[in-house]
Chains A and B, each alone.
Chain A
Amino acid sequence: MTDPRLPAAYLQPGTSSFSDFLASQSPDLLPGRRALPQGQVGDLAPHGTTIVAATFPGGVVMAGDRRATMGNIIAQRDIEKVFPSDEYSIVGIAGAAGLAVEMVRLFQTELEHYEKIEGTTLSMDGKANRLSALIRANLGMAMQGLAVVPLFAGFDLRQGHGRIFSYDVTGGRYEEQAFFSVGSGSLFAKGSLKKLYREDLDETGCVTALVQALYDAADDDSATGGPDLARRIFPVVRVITAEGGRRVPDDEVAEIADRVIAGRMIRPDGPGAPLTGGATGGNR
């Protein structure tokens, strides 16, 4: 007869980390623990593309386009790539979409699990480090083409402002100032934000700058989806402030996107920045 009670490992005090517990109890459920045959498998899986994030006084905004590509095919045109990881943080993903979504789910559970067991939330740096550990565990798959590169942002309640962290495939974690972008269109998005971002932008201004940046990314990168006017599919935008996080409703994003597009009808390359700096001020 088997013992019907909860397994001993469940009743043992010790780790507050869900991923550590999963590794000891059901390691097959960990995203990075799968043995793959030799060779590149990156072309088999859809890839998510561009994520942008920027801070404003009092919070941080993250936005992601809606396209997933598989080689030259558009695998999905309304994928969501920006997720809340807990009440005060968001994570956006670029790279192998299936694996990334699974990793986000693990990360969400990890943060919630810690909060429930310890009765308190992890610090912002603690959360960023946990995400780092999850990505590091995926290095083997990353080397075979299934890389996941997230962008993590949140409101640091202790410091009282929004923070952004970027990662590399080895789990390296870097804090970014003001704005950042990851994914295939990130070069163009970052170039765009360089010219558009100002530190004194308010929430709506910040969202507009990110929508502009995604438009510029989609303009030059085939894997990034622009606003889909026929289907009314617009970027997913999430905002975190001291009051917690929320997703900006689709109609608000649509309104901003419509204004951006109207501007592009007149000047397809988007708003021009002054040739010599200082006129608008606030640029880094």
Chain B
Amino acid sequence: MSMPFYVSPEQLMKDRADFARKGIARGRSVVTIQYAEGILFASENPSQALHKVSEIYDRIAFAAVGRYNEFENLRIAGVRLADMRGYAYDRRDVTGRGLANAYAQTLGTIFSSGGEKPYEVELFVAEIGDTADGDQIFRLTYDGQVADEQGFAVMGGASDMVATYIKEHYKPDQSLESAVRLAVAALGHTDDADRVIDVDHLEVAILDRTRSQPRKFSRVSPARLSTLLGERGPSTPDEPDPEDTRPGTASSAGGPDDPSDPTDQTSGHVAPLEDPVTGESEPPVAPTSGVPGGPAL
């Protein structure tokens, strides 16, 4: 007689959270820092075309880490939502809080619905006010939690290390120049040595209160960025990610099956539920499709 396999809700949620966290930790960090005239975003991103930071509306920007296809979908949904609201009501009626709520509901529902893979993303939604007091930074995690961040925030791969560095050096109401320098230094900071990241490998964007146009978002070009950063010495390329040096597993010849790892790519040699001879049950094993291993930005 076969018994239905039982997984406690705590375990189920923990597995899903571990899975999402693993995906997010694979990407590089994104830093956001409040400065006197606005909010700055910075990230190490060698691609000039695939952005991690983007404009949503006049005063609202979006930054993300994790799986590109998932946060790109969320970004487009955000642009649509904002433009729709701005068109149906007025441009002033589009708020960062409304957008953060919509994202939180979406991420939360997907995370807790059993049928879908949780999104492996973490987002910032930032909005600038007329003065620095009105600035808001929301952090949204894969499970739909929203946190209101003050001053600065970091998400992605080495976020702890970067956040510690910024915490030590952060001053409120600093200039754009010092905010950029702090953010870039933090991104290049590691325990043993500090790297100089090439300006072409940096994606920096600002929400700038002083812009005369209603749209306050602008990208900082590499030329302007090198002026802001000043002389920094020769740049050192990033160390290869441990993930990069590991040979990828072909779908037919995977590594050993580790049932405790929900992200491993091997399963199927063992019957998932019970051994037909002994009747002993086996722990559940992740399916082979839709599992990460693809590039995370």
Contacts and interface: CB of A to CB of B under 8 A. Distances in A.
Interface of A: 3-6, 10-11, 13, 18, 21-22, 25-26, 29, 87, 105-106, 109, 112-113, 116-117, 119
B91 to A, nearest CB: 10
B100 to A, nearest CB: 12
Most A C-beta atoms less than 10 A away, residue of B72, B77, B109:
B77
B81 A119 contact: no
B151 interface: no
Contacts, number: 61
A117 B79 contact: yes
A13 B88 contact: no
A3 B87 contact: no
A116 B55 contact: yes
B105 A6 contact: yes
Closest 10 CB pairs of A and B: A5-B106, A10-B77, A4-B105, A5-B109, A6-B106, A116-B79, A11-B77, A6-B77, A113-B83, A109-B87
B79 A13 contact: no
Contact of B84 (A5, A26, A116, A119): A26
A3 B110 CA distance: 10
Interface string B165-189: 0000000000000000000000000
Interface of B: 49, 51, 54-56, 72-74, 76-77, 79-81, 83-84, 86-88, 102-103, 105-106, 108-110, 213, 215
Nearest to A106: B87
Contacts of B88: 26, 29
Interface of B is mostly: helix
Contacts of A29: 87-88
A119 B51 CA distance: 9
Nearest to A16: B76
A105 B102 contact: no
Nearest to B219: A119
Contact of A109 (B73, B86, B103, B110): B86
Contact of A18 (B74, B83, B103): B83
Nearest to A116: B79
Given A5-B109, A21-B80, A116 B87 contact: no
Given A3-B109, A6-B106, A119-B51, A11 B74 contact: yes
Contacts of B109: 3-5
Contacts of A21: 80, 84
A117 B80 CA distance: 9
